[in-house]
């Protein structure tokens, strides 16, 4: 006879099976409530928006890990490229708008920049993968993970210094994308740019989700991340999947960089902090775990806000790092479980 | 490999034992010649100019770092991404201990000569902790953990402003009274030698075998009765001790420390690039590469002032090329050349 377990029992089961994740999520909820009480709901909203940003960044990183088994150290540079592309697309339009205003163009122009950044990211991703990762894959049999990691370190080095060389170290920035008064969301005042950035992140993640779950190619990508050899035996062409995956991840980071141009500006080393944040999220959530990366983005954002609130902004990168180290000690595979093939 | 053994056996009488002694401490005749050249270089024009000697000092400094770094990366196969942070920790410790000015909260006034060693000890302890932290983590996970620890250390040093003046930086006392660079060069050269010889002796011993075993196949090593905990922790502790020791020298030679420069990830990447281009696991590869490297980069930098960062781009390209096409690095190249000459 089959006993139907109540909702409560099955919830307890899920919690006990995923204890670390449950603890962290519970802790995050508590933190959120504390922040809301102490600092007000505006901080919670801020954290949610920041969380969306980190989630977008982290998803690309998790994807590259899970599918290609590559720990991507140059992910921040994809962000940087996106920021620059958007700057160079948006600024001329913005200037001409200053002389002859056009409300439609003014509303659309930032999206042009973001779109251009996405396209640039796709192209850059394909070029990097074919030019560098493909020869490495052909030549290395063992130690792929480490070698690929060091390759991305080299890429990061070249992209950062190459940009300084060609474009100079100066900040290229914009004060805002849309010249409109701030919105009032649930009684909290928010700049339009931030809200749009959040929705861009949401839409991008949703699009990726749909792509991975519902399309044939997306399923092929997931197959490769589960079992590379098995996927090949099913006729999946790795030489198509790998560039595609890398291009998607780069594009997502580039879109992130473009949508946050008003916040981060564009300069050669702008990718450093997004890189750290994406890594925090992915390490905590579990390498290669795309879903975990999304949730992890929000968790890390809450953690950051809490640190800033109670310890001051200068500790903002020390304390989350310490938390990360503790988490890794207890659950080295990440709280949601790692999906990386270690070789 | 066979040719090296023959070299040892061929030795007869006193010359043979000298060669085998040198070999035992890690010097082939070629290596000794290079060392002598590097040691005598500052006495020969045009290398006796102060800025050239400064470059030589940087070369020796980076060479020693590369050896200490390779001790971990090339043997137990863990890339210690927090290396620069540990070096900086040693630098700051020594600098703070030597402080006599009221700019900082404490003025212990310890002699820099002693302070450098104390900084090394602290760094070694931190390295011990780091080795322990990375115990359950494999390859990339351990590297990332070390990276995060490095970031945390850098942030910590930045935030303890009463001790370190934070991002404003501090200016430790000089080691010597002289303004000439030459004495400093011989000090760092001696330190570099000590680091290399000691690490080489360890790698030649059973400990070195254990390190290699852990690095190649940790399960097989465990099955052979090697305790990975003990060896991993030991390796990190030694590498970090020397990193901190070198950091101490840096503090009292360079005279200016800021957390965001000396402890930054990019500094680890520089050392990593050297160790890898030189050939991981060789211990001396990075050292051989370091000197021409510093000279090449500095020359490029001074000749191409209208193209800032080009030298770093070239650096990165070289690293990638070596990574993909010549994973054994310069050391591998030299070994290959030697075997060709020996007619194998």
Query: Do residues A35 and A43 lie in contact, with contact meaning Cβ atoms separated by under 8 Å?
Result: yes
Instruction: Name every chain B residue with its beta carbon within 8 A of the beta carbon of A328.
Output: 137, 141, 145, 148
Nearest chain A residue to B146, by CA: A325
List CB contacts (< 8 A) between B309 and chain A.
161-162, 164-165
- What is the reported pLDDT for B319? 82
Cβ of A145 within 8 Å of Cβ of B139? The answer is yes
CA atoms lying within 13 Å on the CB side of residue A305: 27
Q: Is residue A1 part of a domain?
A: no
Q: How many CB atoms lie within 10 A of CB A182?
A: 13
Cβ of residue B323 closer than 8 Å to a chain A Cβ: yes
Give me the residues of A, 84-143, that contact B with CB < 8 A.
132, 135-136, 139-140
Identity of the residue in B144, B276, B308 whose CB atom sits nearest the CB atom of A164: B308
Nearest to B158 by CA among B87, B266, B258, B248: B258
pLDDT of residue A140: 76
State how far Cα A228 lies from the chain centre. Answer: 24
Give CA torsion, residues B246, B249, B254, B255, to 10 deg: 130
pLDDT band at residue A339 under the 50/70/90 scheme: low
Closest Cα in chain A, distance from residue B69 (Å): 15
Residue among B114, B98, B253 at smallest CA distance from B174: B253
| Model pLDDT for residues A238-278, shown as the tens digit of each residue | 889 999 999 999 999 999 999 888 888 888 888 888 898 89
Calculate ∠ Cα B86-B116-B188, nearest 5°: 90
pLDDT digits (tens, 9 = 90+) for A165-190: 888 888 888 887 777 777 777 767 77
Q: Which residues of A39-66 are buried (b: 16+ CB within 10 A; e: fewer)?
A: beebbbbbbebbbbbbbbbbbbbbbbbb
Instruction: List A183's β-bridge partners, or say none.
Output: A190
Dist CA B98 CA B344 (whole Å)? 55
* Neighbouring-strand partners of residue A184: A189
Interface test with A, best of B147, B151, B166, B219 (most A CBs within 10 A): B151
Q: Is residue A206 part of a domain?
A: yes
* A273 in contact with B, Cβ within 8 Å: no
Low-confidence ranges of chain B (pLDDT < 70): 1-16, 19-20, 23-25, 305-306, 308-309, 343-344
Write the burial class of residue A310 (CB in 10 Å: 0-12 exposed, 13-18 middle, 19+ buried).
middle
C-alpha angle B213-B216-B220 in degrees, rounded to nearest 5: 60
**For residue A67, which of A228, A286, A240, A214 has the smallest C-alpha distance?**
A228
Return the residue matching tokens 């020390």: A318
Q: Which domain holds residue A156?
A: 19-330
Q: In chain A, whose CA is at the least distance from the CA of B137?
A: A332
- DSSP H helix total and E strand total for chain A: 15, 2
pLDDT of residue A1: 47
Pick among A318, A322, A324, A325 to test the B interface (most B CBs inside 10 A) = A318
* Number of structural domains found in chain A: 1
Cα separation, B261 vs A242, whole angstroms: 36
Beta bridge partners of A188: A185
**Does residue A2 sit within a domain?**
no
Nearest to A136 among B308, B316, B324 (CB): B324
Q: Give dist(CA A69, CA A225) in Å, integer.
A: 8
Per-residue pLDDT of B211-235, as tens digits, reads 888 888 878 888 888 888 888 899 9
| Percent above pLDDT 70 for chain A | 94
CB contact under 8 A, A314 and B158: yes
pLDDT tens digits for B159-180? 888 787 888 888 888 877 778 8
What pLDDT does residue B12 have? 47
B327 in A contact zone (CB under 8 Å): yes
8 Å CB contact between A292 and A334: yes
Which of A328, A339, A341 best probes binding to B when mutated, by most B CB atoms within 10 angstroms? A328
Contacts of B317 in chain A (CB under 8 A): 154, 158
**Residue A163 tokens, joined:** 């940009």
Residue A226 falls inside a structural domain: yes
Between B138, B139, B269, which is nearest A153 by CB?
B269
**Cβ contacts of B149 on chain A, cutoff 8 Å:** 321, 325
Q: What's the whole-model pTM score?
A: 0.84
Q: Is B137 left (phi over 0), alpha (psi -120 to 50) or beta?
A: beta
Is residue A218 domain-resident?
yes
- Contact status of B317 with chain A (Cβ, < 8 Å): yes
B288: nearest Cα among B322, B328, B330, B247: B330
Instruction: Say if residue B54 is preceded by a cis peptide, omega within 30 of 0.
Output: no
Q: Respond yes or no on whether the N-terminal peptide bond of residue B172 is cis (omega within 30° of 0).
A: no
Q: What is the pLDDT of residues A58-110, one digit of tens each?
A: 999 999 988 888 889 999 999 999 999 999 998 888 888 777 777 777 778 88
pLDDT of residue B16: 67
Please indicate, yes or no, if residue A168 is contained in any of the structural domains.
Answer: yes
Q: Does B325 touch chain A (CB under 8 A)?
A: yes
Tens of pLDDT along B12-67? Answer: 455 667 766 776 667 777 788 888 888 888 787 777 788 888 888 999 999 999 99
Residue A165 lies in a domain: yes
Q: Which residue has the higher pLDDT, B107 or A111?
A: A111
Residue A287 with chain B: CB contacts under 8 Å: 141
* Beta strand extents in chain B (DSSP E only): none
CB atoms < 10 A from the CB of A315, how many?
A: 18
- Is this complex scored with an ipTM above 0.90? no
Q: Does a structural domain hold residue A311?
A: yes
């Amino acid at each position: 006879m089959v006993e139907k377990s109540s909702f409560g029992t099955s919830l307890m089961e899920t919690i006990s099976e995923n204890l670390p994740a449950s603890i962290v999520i519970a802790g995050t909820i508590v933190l959120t409530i504390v922040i809301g009480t102490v600092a007000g709901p505006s901080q919670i909203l801020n954290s949610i928006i920041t969380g969306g940003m980190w989630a977008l960044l982290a998803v690309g990183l998790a994807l590259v890990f899970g599918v290609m088994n590559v720990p991507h150290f140059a992910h921040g540079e994809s962000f940087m490229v996106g920021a620059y592309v958007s700057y160079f697309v948006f600024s001329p339009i913005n200037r001409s708008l200053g002389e002859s205003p056009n409300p439609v163009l003014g509303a659309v122009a930032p999206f042009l920049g973001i779109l251009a950044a996405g396209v640039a990211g796709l192209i850059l991703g394909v070029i990097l993968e074919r030019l560098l990762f493909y020869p490495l894959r052909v030549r290395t049999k063992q130690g792929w993970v480490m070698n690929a990691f060091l390759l991305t370190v080299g890429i990061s080095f070249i992209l950062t210094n190459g940009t300084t060389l060609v474009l100079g170290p100066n900040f290229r920035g914009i004060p805002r994308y849309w010249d409109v008064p701030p919105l009032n969301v649930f009684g909290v005042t928010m700049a339009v740019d931030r809200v749009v950035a959040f929705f861009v992140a949401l839409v991008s993640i949703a699009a990726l989700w749909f792509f991975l779950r519902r399309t044939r190619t997306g399923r092929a990508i997931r197959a490769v991340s589960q079992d590379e050899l098995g996927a090949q035996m099913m006729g999946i062409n790795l030489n198509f999947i790998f560039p595609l995956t890398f291009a998607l991840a780069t594009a997502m980071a580039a879109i992130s960089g473009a949508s946050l141009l008003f916040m981060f500006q564009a300069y050669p080393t702008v990718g450093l902090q997004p890189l750290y944040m994406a890594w925090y999220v992915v390490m905590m959530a579990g390498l290669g775990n795309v879903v975990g990366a999304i949730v992890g983005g929000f968790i890390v954002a809450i953690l950051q806000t809490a640190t800033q609130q109670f310890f001051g902004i200068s500790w903002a990168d020390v304390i989350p790092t310490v938390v990360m180290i503790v988490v890794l000690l207890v659950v080295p595979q990440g709280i949601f479980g790692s999906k990386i093939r270690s070789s | 490999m066979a040719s090296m053994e023959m070299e040892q056996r061929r030795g007869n009488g006193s010359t043979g034992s000298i060669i085998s002694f040198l070999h035992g401490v890690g010097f082939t005749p070629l290596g000794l010649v290079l060392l002598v050249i590097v040691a005598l270089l500052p006495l020969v024009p045009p290398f006796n100019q102060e800025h050239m000697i400064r470059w030589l000092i940087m070369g020796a400094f980076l060479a020693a770092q590369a050896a200490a770094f390779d001790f971990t990366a090339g043997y137990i196969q863990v890339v210690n991404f927090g290396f620069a942070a540990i070096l900086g920790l040693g630098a700051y410790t020594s600098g703070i201990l030597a402080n006599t000015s009221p700019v900082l909260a404490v003025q212990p006034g310890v002699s820099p000569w002693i302070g450098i060693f104390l900084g090394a000890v602290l760094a070694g302890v931190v390295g011990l902790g780091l080795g322990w932290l990375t115990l359950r983590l494999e390859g990339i996970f351990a590297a990332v953990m070390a990276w995060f620890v490095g970031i945390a250390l850098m942030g910590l040093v930045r935030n303890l402003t009463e001790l370190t003046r934070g991002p404003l930086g501090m200016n430790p006392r000089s080691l010597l009274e002289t303004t000439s660079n030459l004495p400093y060069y011989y000090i760092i050269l001696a330190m570099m030698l000590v680091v290399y010889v000691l690490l080489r002796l360890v790698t030649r011993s059973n400990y070195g075998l254990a390190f290699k075993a852990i690095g190649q196949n940790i399960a097989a090593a465990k099955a052979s009765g090697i305790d990975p905990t003990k060896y991993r922790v030991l390796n990190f502790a030694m590498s970090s001790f020397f990193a901190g020791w070198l950091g101490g020298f840096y503090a009292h030679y360079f005279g200016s420390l800021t957390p965001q420069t000396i402890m930054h990830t990019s500094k680890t990447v520089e050392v990593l690039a050297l160790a890898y281009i030189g050939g991981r696991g060789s211990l001396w590869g990075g050292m051989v590469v370091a000197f021409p490297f510093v000279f090449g980069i500095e020359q490029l930098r001074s000749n191409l002032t209208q193209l800032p960062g080009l030298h770093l781009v070239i650096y990165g390209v070289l690293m990638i090329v070596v990574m993909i096409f010549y994973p054994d690095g310069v050391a591998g190249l030299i070994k290959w050349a030697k075997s060709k000459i020996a007619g194998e």
